[in-house]
Amino acid sequence: MNKILIVSLCLIVFSIIVFYAMGFNVENISTNEIKSKLSDSNANIGIIDVRTKSEYESGHIEHSLWIPLAQLESNIEKIKSKNYDEIYTICLSGGRSASAVKKLKKHDINAINIRGGMLSWNSLK
């Protein structure tokens, strides 16, 4: 009985650590919602794609800004200079873009993760 309790506790602690480490504790928006927002021609929305160059070149959201996750913090002034009303981050599946949201928040930039990333976006077509 004690072994089951210890294993259960370990699994819960591990799950919490993974939850926070992967960035799932950030604000998210669905691809349907972001697609609707992008259809508003008056919206000043920035989409920051944090994937690798080859991933970005294989297909991306029109007018998105490509800044790989590893280079995000060295491009903070570039992002701020765009004066976006809203900023959203995207990657392949949502993990890296959730990390990007956390990095941007450290620099007082509010951003929202696009849940499911390009995998979800491409399924809308």
Least confident of 34-48, 67-81, 105-119: 34-48
Q: Which domain holds residue 65?
A: 2-123
Burial track 7-18 (b if 16+ CB lie within 10 A, e otherwise): eeeeeeeeeeee
How far is CA 65 from its chain centroid?
13
Structure confidence at residue 14 (pLDDT)? 61
Q: What is the pLDDT of residue 25?
A: 77
Over residues 21-33, mean pLDDT? 80
Q: How confident is the model at residue 117 (pLDDT cuts 50, 70, 90)?
A: very high
| CATH number, residue 86 | 3.40.250.10
Total structural domains in the chain?
1
Query: Mean pLDDT over residues 74-93, rounded?
Result: 96
Residue 20: predicted pLDDT: 47
Contact 121, 97 (CB under 8 A): no
Does the pLDDT of residue 46 top 90, yes or no?
Answer: yes
User: What confidence category does residue 112 fall into, taking pLDDT thresholds of 50, 70 and 90?
Assistant: very high
The residue with greater pLDDT, 22 or 34, is 34
